[in-house]
């Protein structure tokens, strides 16, 4: 590509199909809406069937949307997701591994079942769904896999050992997939959101002392909203990022710079 070839069309997703897990609430809903606004049709995987708000957001852009209620911890559902998306749209151009969970408790009190529940959603599902979708993308000769990391992909945190381990794992998987899939014109990158106003962070924001501690470290001086993450997901899903591979992109208001 020469300098004369580049245009804003490189960010256009017209004709693309995107899977977004956990795409009916919070950041996932924001990612789905952003991709639709850029031109993509959506295949949204959710753990419940409360998706009318998200349907309206997508359809008002003029794009198509298909929902699948599925438990990402069940192996049989992983192949079903890829197969059903191909059945509905004929291909998979973009995968956003957004679904995640968090359970808080002191390390010495953390229960094995809570560890397993977090790792199953945050890491195992990312690996197995990426693996299944990558088979489709390799046959196509192109694709974009976008994983969702965290500040805890870089730091240790407190009271969330499996979440920290899983998000470090997501960063590692991002690099591992990039190394193997890059030759097939498939780029794998990750977004590492900072502190975002979502249901998962509501308990922290309600703790006045903890909330102030967080805000005092963020150079931007505020929590992010899901809309602050919309531009970066379009970038990573588009031609504009074709030479970006294996990168974990922090969108954190400057948190890691402090």
Query: What residues are annotated to the active site?
Result: 163
Q: Tell me the Ramachandran region of residue 75: left when phi exceeds 0, alpha when psi lies from -120 to 50, beta otherwise.
A: alpha
| Three-state SS at 76 | helix
Number of neighbours of residue 257 by Cβ within 10 angstroms: 10
Beta bridge pairs of residue 21: 45
Nearest to 182 by CA among 222, 133, 229, 143: 143
C-alpha to C-alpha distance for 204 and 134, rounded to whole angstroms: 36
Number of neighbours of residue 255 by Cβ within 10 angstroms: 21
The DSSP line for 126-168 is HHHHHHHHHHHHHHHT-EEEEEE--GGGTS--SS-HHHHHHHH
C-alpha to C-alpha distance for 89 and 85, rounded to whole angstroms: 6
Number of neighbours of residue 216 by Cβ within 10 angstroms: 9
Task: Specify burial of residue 15 (Cβ count, 10 A radius: 0-12, 13-18, 19+).
Answer: exposed
């Amino acid at each position: 590509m020469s300098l004369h070839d580049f245009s804003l069309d490189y960010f256009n997703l017209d004709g693309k199909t995107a899977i977004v897990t956990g795409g009916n609430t919070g950041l996932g809903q924001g990612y789905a809406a952003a991709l639709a606004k850029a031109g993509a049709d959506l295949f949204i995987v959710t753990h419940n069937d409360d998706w009318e708000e998200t349907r309206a957001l997508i359809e008002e852009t003029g794009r198509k949307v298909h929902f699948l209620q599925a438990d990402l911890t069940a192996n049989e559902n992983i192949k079903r997701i890829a197969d059903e998306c191909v059945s509905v749209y004929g291909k998979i151009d973009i995968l956003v591994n957004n679904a995640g969970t968090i359970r808080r408790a002191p390390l010495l009190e953390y229960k094995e079942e809570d560890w397993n529940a977090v790792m199953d959603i945050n890491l195992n599902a990312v690996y197995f769904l990426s693996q299944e979708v990558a088979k489709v993308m390799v046959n196509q000769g192109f694709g974009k896999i976008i994983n969702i990391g965290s500040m805890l992909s870089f730091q240790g945190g407190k009271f969330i050992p499996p979440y920290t381990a899983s998000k470090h794992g997501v960063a590692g998987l991002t690099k591992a997939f990039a190394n193997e899939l890059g030759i097939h014109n498939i780029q794998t990158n990750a977004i590492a959101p900072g502190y975002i106003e979502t249901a998962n962070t509501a308990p922290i924001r309600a703790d006045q002392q903890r909330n102030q501690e967080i805000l005092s470290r963020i150079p931007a001086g505020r929590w992010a909203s899901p809309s602050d993450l919309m531009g970066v997901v379009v970038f990573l899903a588009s031609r504009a990022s074709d030479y970006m591979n294996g990168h974990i992109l922090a969108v954190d208001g400057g948190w890691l710079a402090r």
